[in-house]
């Protein structure tokens, strides 16, 4: 049985339907990538899983439990943490406070704590007292990832962590992924950078207009099939 699974997941913003029956599965220890053009519904999928958007209870299963209708705080308490699109650091909090808030109100057991996050991203230790928003884009992204790790999640959702970052910075950030996996998290990355997605993921889902149009292991996908799944032609 998959660790995290969506079945027939739909989502709407008012009258506008953004997801039309999305089925994805994430197995224990796996990393999957969701790719797709702008507006395909990737962020909406992440929001639905993380509880920002409510769904039908049975549309999202985590460890066999129906979590589709649960609000975000209940989801993170169960072990699914999100690195939201655009990083969304708290402007009134320092770097260290941003990290600490990742485990708000819970005594969480596990590998990740302030020290191990600082070991993962040493630059953050130097900038721990700065306001989170005073950092460079790459450093902010590290804070956002560290903040999610602080809850020692079993599933880490990463929404477009490479957005707006220079290639070397992206490489640095993805260099942390093996250690995150080793520490026990299964990962969903949302990426527009297809090359990056194929490199990091065990399996890839391609989305278009609110639907999954292609699934497979990176080795089985060709440029042409991805192109077709991306743009519909």
Ligand X SMILES: Nc1ncnc2c1ncn2[C@@H]1O[C@H](COP(=O)(O)OP(=O)(O)O)[C@@H](O)[C@H]1O
Q: Which residues bind other proteins (CB under 8 A)?
A: 50-52, 71-73, 76-77, 81-82, 84, 88, 90-93, 97, 100-106, 147, 151
Residue 40 makes contact with ligand X by CB under 6 A: yes
Helix axes 167-174, 137-149, angle to 10 degrees: 20
Rounded CA-CA distance 115/145 in Å is 14
Contact criterion met (CB below 8 Å) for 10 and 20: yes
Phi/psi at 69 (nearest 5 deg)? -95, 0
The H-or-E segment that residue 60 falls in is strand 60-62
If one counts every other C-beta atom within 10 angstroms of the C-beta of residue 231, the result is: 11
Nearer to Mg ion, 23 or 85 (CB): 85
Residue closest to Mg ion (Cβ): 43
Nearer to other proteins, 132 or 206 (CB): 132
User: Whole-number minimum distance, CB 132 to ligand X, in Å?
Assistant: 23
Residue 172, both tokens: 């640095």
User: What, of other proteins, Mg ion, ligand X, none, does residue 127 touch, CB below 5 to 8 Å by kind?
Assistant: none
The correct pick among 18, 24, 76, 142 for binding ligand X (CB under 6 A) is 18
Rounded CA-CA distance 104/194 in Å is 34
Number of helices and strands (H, E) in the chain? Answer: 10, 10
Residue 151 makes contact with Mg ion by CB under 5 A: no
* Dihedral sign computed on CA atoms, order 67, 71, 72, 74: negative
Residues listed for the chain? 233
User: Whole-number minimum distance, CB 13 to ligand X, in Å?
Assistant: 3
User: Whole-number minimum distance, CB 43 to Mg ion, in Å?
Assistant: 3
Nearer to Mg ion, 45 or 142 (CB): 45
Rounded to a whole number of angstroms, the CA Rg of the chain reads 17
Nearer to ligand X, 42 or 203 (CB): 42
Rounded CA-CA distance 92/94 in Å is 7
The correct pick among 6, 31, 43, 48 for binding Mg ion (CB under 5 A) is 43
User: What, of Mg ion, ligand X, other proteins, none, does residue 50 touch, CB below 5 to 8 Å by kind?
Assistant: other proteins
Nearer to ligand X, 13 or 219 (CB): 13
- Stretch near ligand X under the rule CB under 6 A, chosen from 12-20, 92-100, 135-143, 211-219: 12-20
Q: Which residues form the interface with ligand X (CB under 6 A)?
A: 13, 16, 18, 36, 38-44
Q: Which residues form the interface with Mg ion (CB under 5 A)?
A: 43, 85
């Amino acid at each position: 049985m998959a660790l995290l699974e969506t079945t027939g997941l739909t989502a709407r913003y008012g009258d506008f339907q953004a997801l039309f029956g999305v089925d994805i599965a994430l197995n224990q220890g796996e990393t999957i990538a969701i790719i797709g053009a702008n507006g395909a519904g990737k962020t909406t999928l992440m929001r639905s899983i993380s509880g920002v958007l409510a769904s039908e209870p049975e549309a999202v299963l985590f460890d066999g439990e129906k979590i589709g209708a649960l609000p975000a705080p209940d989801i993170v308490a169960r072990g699914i943490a999100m690195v939201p699109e655009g990083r969304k650091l708290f402007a009134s909090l320092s770097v260290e406070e941003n990290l600490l808030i990742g485990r708000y109100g819970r005594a969480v057991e596990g590998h990740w704590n302030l020290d191990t996050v600082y070991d993962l991203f040493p630059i953050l230790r130097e900038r721990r007292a700065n306001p989170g928003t005073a950092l460079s884009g790459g450093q902010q992204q590290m804070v956002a990832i560290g903040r999610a790790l602080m809850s020692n999640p079993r599933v880490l959702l990463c929404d477009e962590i490479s957005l707006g970052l220079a290639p070397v910075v992206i490489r640095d950030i993805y260099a942390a992924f093996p250690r995150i996996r080793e520490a026990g998290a299964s990962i969903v990355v949302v990426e527009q950078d297809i090359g990056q997605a194929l490199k990091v993921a065990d399996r890839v889902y391609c989305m278009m207009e609110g639907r999954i149009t292609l699934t497979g292991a990176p080795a089985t996908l060709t440029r042409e099939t991805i192109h077709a799944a991306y743009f519909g032609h």
